[in-house]
Structures are given as structure tokens and as C-alpha cells.
Structure 1
Amino acid sequence: MVNKLTRTPSLDDADPARRSAGAVGTYRVVATAGVFEPGFRGGGPIRSLRFILDTLPGDLDVTLITRDRDLGSPAPYPGLSGRLLRRDERSAVFYLNPVVPRHWVRLIRHVRARPVDLLYVNSIWSLFSVLAILAVALRLVRVGAILVAPRGELSPGALAIRATKKRLFLALWAPLLRRLRVRWQACSWLEEKQIRATVPWAQVMVNGNESPIPAHPAPPARAHDGPLRLVFVGRISPMKNLSTALEAVAGTTRPVEFDIYGPPEDPHYWARCQRIITAMPGHVRVRYLGELAAEDVMPTFSRYDAFLFPTLGENFGHVILESLASGCPVVCSDDTPFSALITDTGGTVVRPTTAAGLSRVLDLLADRSPGERAEAKATAGQRYRHWRQRHREPNVLAHARQFCR
């Protein structure tokens, strides 16, 4: 992940040509995100941004402003705090500690060195998004247009968490966004619908081209004897609904092994999950195996028979695509853009997503022979690749250049 970054000694020493007017026709974007590489706890949005930056057309120049540490980490990344790191000729990342004044001085100097055509903020609630938009509203920074990517934050499931605070914030924030004539990015038709339900006046650009086609085929599926192997990969938070997955596993009647990977984002929710784990019946084995770095996600998926993911809502769902690309069928809720794909690749969409309904599906999977499980894995990988080849869109920021005119 970090091997694409080359350190610039300081903002003051950056290439003067890049701080001047720039090449004729270059479209300058300043983007914000709460977390980015080398962090990985932020999940899908990190992978979305990485792919967007990796596939920029040559006439775009992007500076991404992000926190100098991973999600929930008290310590900054070694040697990155307050630095601008150029990834390549088209993109750079500034690692900010918001409580250090000199970081702001360097950042403001860099941002104001040349006109900004587009401000691209990822998240509605993030401090980085709020401060960036306030800077535009107060005319501290002038930009040609603003594009907001809510990253699933306006889904019904997400809005139901701390609902009162979010309603109050939106009541104050939405009029300002309207006055600034912000545009919105949805990663799918489902997210477009969710944005319009909350912000009826929104101008929405739909673009979900945020996931690469894996460079290699899925690992060959091998038959194995023994219990059904299930996996959960994701943030341990109410939104990802691990508790219902655990209740479903507890309700099976066949032997099952269930491994969990991901950062415990909500301590109270994780304590609830642990209580369910403690009460598991004897025919079920559950293990929490810690966090996964991005490069370990697909190799991990390849070892399992199914990915159990009763999420309350995904605006995109990178982890679903990673599972399928690894040859791991998905058992999921109907709250993602990929219900048809999940079904076509041999997985199951459970409607409604109750623990009892999931348990019935898991018992059917556990009754499969080793050969049938291996065949299902091979089918998932092959069909995913065929689907991905057919679904390509322009780079998100290249699309935004046209949409925000």
C-alpha cells in the first residue's frame, strides 16, 4: 500500500511548477477523507479512494487530505504526520494532525497555491468534510464546485444509529449545502435513492467504478471434509450486524466453524457479540482472529465456504466483491447494490434478514458435499469476473469534471 508513496521533504520544497498555474487544461481536485493508506481499518472507502487515485486520467491533479493515523488509533503513522507525499505525477496525500497548527499552515499554503476546480469530500459527518465545506462557505478557500460522497451514511440503517444527533445536524447543515450548490456522488442506484430521500433537492452523479478487476483468477477451489467454514470480514459495529450473524450461527443444527475478522469499532456492541459467542452450542466453533490488512483480505476469503454478511446497508460493498473475486459465495442481506450479483454467483440474499432465516440457509450449505462446496466456490469466482468485465465506468473524478460544470 505505501509503496506507491514517495516522500516530499516538505510542502515548501515541493516542485514549484506544481504550485504555479500548472499545465494548461489540468483539472485540480482537493479531496478529503478521514482515513487512508497505510491505514486499513476504514474498510471500503480506503479501497475506493486508492482505486480512484490509481486510475486518474493524465489531466487531473489530486491532493487528498487525510488524518495522520488509522481509524481509532492513538498513534500517527511513523514519519508521515504533517507531510505531503506524492504517489505519482497525478496525486499526492497530505497527512494532517488537526490539533497541530503548523500542519494547517502548510496545508493552507499548499491548497491556495493554485485554483481548485473541485472539492471532493468523502463523508457527511467527518470533521475533515465539515471543515473543508466551512472553509469554502467562509471564502477562506475558493473552489469551482463541491462534490459530496456520503459513503452509505444516508442509508436507513446508518441514519437509525444516533438518529437524533444526525437529524439535528442535517437540519442545520443541509441548507448550507444547498446554498453552496453541492453535488452528490452515489456509488449505486440504491444510494442515489437514499440520498434523494434525505436531500430531495440533490443533484446526484451515480458512479460505482471504484473496484479493480483482480489481476489473477481466484485460487483453485479444493474439496474439504468437515464442518461448513464461514467467515465474517468487516468493522465490528452495529451497521455490519455481526450480532445477527452470530445468532444465525447459534441457530444452526449442523456443525459450523465461524471465523471473525475486523476491528471492534464499538466496544459496547462488541461486548454484546462476545456474550453471544460465550453461549454458543457445542456443534459451533467461533473464533475472533483480529484485523486484516488489505492485502490479506482476498487470500483469507479463499479459505472459506461462504461469507456471512447480514449488513444493515452498504452504499457499495467492496468486501462483497472481494469475497466473490476470491471464490467465496456470499450469504447477505438485501441492503446492498449487489443482490442480483450475489444470487447469480451462487450466494443467497435472505429476505427478511432474520437470524432464523439465515440459520436455514446455513443448514442447507452445511448439507452440501465437499465436492459441491468446491464447485460453488469455483462458480462464484468465474461469474464474478464475467460480471466485472461488463461493468466499467469512467474514473469518478473524470466523471465529476463533466457533471459539475
Structure 2
Amino acid sequence: MAYDADRLATSREDAPDPYRVLVTADYFEPGYLAGGPIRSVSSLMDAASPAIEGTLVTRDHDLGAPESFPGLSGRWVQRGRHRVFYLGARRLRHWRRLYRELRATRFDLLYVNSLWSLFSIVPILAAKMGALRVERVLIAPRGECGVGALSINSTRKRIFLVGWRWMLNGQRVYWHATTALEAADIRRVVPSARIPVVVGAGGPEPVDLPPARSSGPARLVFLGRISPMKNLDLVLTALSEVKGPVEFDIFGPTEDQAYWRTCLSLLESLPGNIRATYRGAVQPDQVCDVFAGYDTFVLPTRGENFGHVIAESLAVGCPVICSDRTPWTPVLRSGGGMVLPDLTAEALRDCIEEVVAASPEQRHAARMAASAAYRDWRQQVGRLSVLDRAREALTRPRAYAGR
């Protein structure tokens, strides 16, 4: 998507009475280090119909990056039919400019992409106090209500929820879940939550598979943010018990430095039959190409509300070994890979050893099965944007009030 800084749309002929949505997200394009959430927000805005007029507010830098995006900080950017403001959160003049612009508009919907982020808390409070003119609020927790996510920094999150939960119970507050499982997670945290939108994202186009390799050790890959949520340390612990030869490559930003040091220690203690290498972060347009070179993607995640990276792996026929805490369990069980009901090193080791023991022909057959399972799933995915679904659900003659 091309960026044209400060060029505002001059014609709204295609949407004479638009549904105005204010979207907030911690990180957005041209950033990529935050992974799936960036692709989720990008997809929902790209897929929105002409009836939707979107305004996005995001940070002026990528995850963990010390520098702002060149030429974007503190500026409005036109992105297709929508506008994006890149906010330097520590710059008061950015806040003033943003507030003047937002205050002048009445929004039909405020759509926030986190439960804990400053970019969710501030706009929700502003809407509650009338500083922003917002009709309704839609919260997408992006998996943050899952058991695995809540177990990280759990004490701090419980304390925060004591004071924050009352803000999330208003008559105009709704929730977006990507699956029925996530809807149950949300209601466990906020029992009165109203969830009119239960829909996940789409995935990339499937591609033709590369030819089968004739020989060589199993090639495994981990690709994702290096944080406790993604469970890389469990992969390394499981690999330490694998007897056969393995080539294992790690891709992703080192989000949590203390956790990365733990992983480095495990890397250094791997036996000689395991050749493990850290390859750094990957640009979004290179992710599918990376997966195409491996036999299996290993992701024993503690929880994903969608899991774009799983879709990208399956799209190129790279089977996935994954926990049962994602929406992809049915696809994996139908041929997309293997599901780990127990997040233990022993269970993961057993799955990896199946890949290691397989012949080149068996590994290629597994790739073909993963590709077929993904194609079947993709045919069933609806194409209507989350924002359009929210508009339909929340603007009926009787506004959504059930659960």
C-alpha cells in the first residue's frame, strides 16, 4: 500500500453517508516487528467496503525501534480511503494536533486493538468522558484474555482489571472475538461482555509447492516474536532430547531480552546432532518464502486469537506443530500438521521425532496434505471486513443487546 503523507481525500462520492470508525493500534505499517496484529489491522482496513471511513491512530515507530519512521512522525497519511496518524506518544504537540482533528469528527465506532495498551485505555477513557464523540466502542483483545496470556505478569493484570473492568461494562461497549473459544475467554474476564462480532481474518493465497527434497536432515523453523507467549524455550528443551539430525532456524525480533538470554543458554547447550541458528527478523513479504524452505513450522504458543503466521506457513504447504490454543486446531488435525494438547517438552519431542524419522517422500506428502487442508479452510472463510460486520450488527433497528 503506497503512502502519501498529508494528502487528504477530497471526494466522498462513493460513500455519501459514511460509517466513521476510529481505529487505534500500538503498531502499524510500515512496521512489521509486532507481527500478526499489524497484519490483522491492515487486512481489516483494506477489506472494508466504501461505506466505511476509517481513521487510524498508531505509534510513529516499530516495536522496540528507537527511531521514528522517516517522514511519518506527527503526520497524517492518506492510505486508500482511510487516514493514518503516526503519534509520538511522548510529544505533547502531537497529542494536541491529534485531539483537534479527532474532536472535530463524530465517530460511529471506536475500535481498539488491545485490552492493556495505552492506545486503548486513553481513547476509551476519552470516549467515556465525552472528550471524543464516539457512539460505540468495540474492543478486540487479540488473545489477551486467554489463559496463557493472562498467566504472564498475572498479578499486575489482575490488579489492573479490578479498576478497569467497570469501564468495560457500559451500554455502548462491545467486543470482537475471532472464535467462539476467544469469546469464552473474554466472558471469563468480563462476564457481562456483549460480543456481536465473532469473525477471524483471512489468509494469503496458497501457492504451488516446491519439489520434494531427495535427502538431508529434517529442517524445522520457528518464526515469531521471541517472547514467553510463543514458547521458544519449550522448542529448544524438546530439541535437546531429539536423537536424530535436525536443522533448526529461528526467525523473529527479540522482544523480551531476559527471555532471549534464557533461550540463548538453551541454544548453546543443544547436542551436536541439532544445528540451530538465529536468523533475525523477517520482512512481512518474505515470510511465505521463508516457510517454503522448511519441512515443519514449530509453534507451541500459549495462545493465539488468530495466528497469521500459521496461515502463512500452511499457504506454502509447510506443516505446523502447534498447541491446541489457536483457531487452527481443526485445520491441523485435518492434515495441516500436528496438535499439541499438552505443552510439555516430552510431547513436543515426540512430534518432532516423527518429522525427523520421516522419509523425504513422507515429508513431501505431509506438505501436500498441509496445502490441501489450508485450501479447504480458505474456501470457507468469509470476505466481509470486521468493520462492516460491526456496522451491520450495531446499526440494526434494535441495537445488539444480547450475548
Q: TM-score, normalised by structure 1?
A: 0.94
- Tell me the amino acid that sits aligned with residue 198 of structure 1: V
Where in structure 1 do 4 or more consecutive aligned residues deviate above 4 Å?
Answer: 15-18
1: CA distance between counterparts of 2:211 and 2:10?
53
Most deviating of 391-400 and 40-49 = 391-400
Question: What SS is found at the alignment partner of 1:183?
Answer: strand
Structure-1 residue corresponding to 2:237? 247
2: CA distance between counterparts of 1:396 and 1:127?
22
2: CA distance between counterparts of 1:298 and 1:25?
39
2: CA distance between counterparts of 1:155 and 1:350?
17
- For the pair 1:386 / 2:376, whether they are aligned, the reply is yes
Structure-1 residue corresponding to 2:282? 292
- Tell me the amino acid that sits aligned with residue 86 of structure 1: Q
- For the pair 1:169 / 2:167, whether they are aligned, the reply is no
Q: Structure 1: 5+ residue runs without aligned partners?
A: none
2: CA distance between counterparts of 1:141 and 1:387?
40
- For the pair 1:69 / 2:67, whether they are aligned, the reply is no
- For the pair 1:32 / 2:24, whether they are aligned, the reply is yes
Most deviating of 342-351 and 223-232 = 342-351
Give how far 1:239 is off: 0.5
Give how far 1:77 is off: 0.4
Structure-1 residue corresponding to 2:3? 5
Question: What SS is found at the alignment partner of 1:64?
Answer: strand
Instruction: Choose from 306, 321, 326 the match for 1:316.
Output: 306
1: CA distance between counterparts of 2:319 and 2:213?
15
Structure-2 residue corresponding to 1:349? 339
Structure-2 residue corresponding to 1:208? 199
2: CA distance between counterparts of 1:234 and 1:390?
26
Cα distance change on mapping 1:156 and 1:31 into 2, 3 Å: same
2: CA distance between counterparts of 1:290 and 1:387?
30
Whether contact under 8 Å (2:336, 2:371) holds in the other structure is no
Structure-1 residue corresponding to 2:43? 51
1: CA distance between counterparts of 2:363 and 2:356?
9
Question: What SS is found at the alignment partner of 1:345?
Answer: helix
Structure-2 residue corresponding to 1:105? 96
Most deviating of 100-109 and 352-361 = 100-109
Question: What SS is found at the alignment partner of 2:255?
Answer: coil
Question: What SS is found at the alignment partner of 1:239?
Answer: coil
Question: What SS is found at the alignment partner of 1:4?
Answer: coil
Structure-2 residue corresponding to 1:301? 291
Give how far 1:385 is off: 1.3
Cα distance change on mapping 1:141 and 1:51 into 2, 3 Å: same
CA shift digits 1:169-223 (9 cap, x unpaired)? 1111110121353100001111111001111000013433422441x52432422
Question: What SS is found at the alignment partner of 1:289?
Answer: strand
2: CA distance between counterparts of 1:59 and 1:331?
40
- Tell me the amino acid that sits aligned with residue 6 of structure 1: D
Whether contact under 8 Å (2:249, 2:276) holds in the other structure is yes
Give how far 1:41 is off: 1.0
Whether contact under 8 Å (2:111, 2:137) holds in the other structure is yes
Instruction: Choose from 199, 208, 212 the match for 1:222.
Output: 212
CA shift digits 1:7-55 (9 cap, x unpaired)? 225xxxx45667xx99542100000000000111111111111111111
Structure-2 residue corresponding to 1:87? 79
CA shift digits 1:333-391 (9 cap, x unpaired)? 11111111012124111221211111111111111111211221122113211210112
Structure-2 residue corresponding to 1:125? 116
2: CA distance between counterparts of 1:225 and 1:212?
31
CA shift digits 1:230-277 (9 cap, x unpaired)? 000011100000000111111111111110001111111111111111
- Tell me the amino acid that sits aligned with residue 403 of structure 1: A
- For the pair 1:135 / 2:126, whether they are aligned, the reply is yes
Structure-1 residue corresponding to 2:401? none
- For the pair 1:156 / 2:156, whether they are aligned, the reply is no
- Tell me the amino acid that sits aligned with residue 320 of structure 1: I
Cα distance change on mapping 1:93 and 1:224 into 2, 3 Å: farther
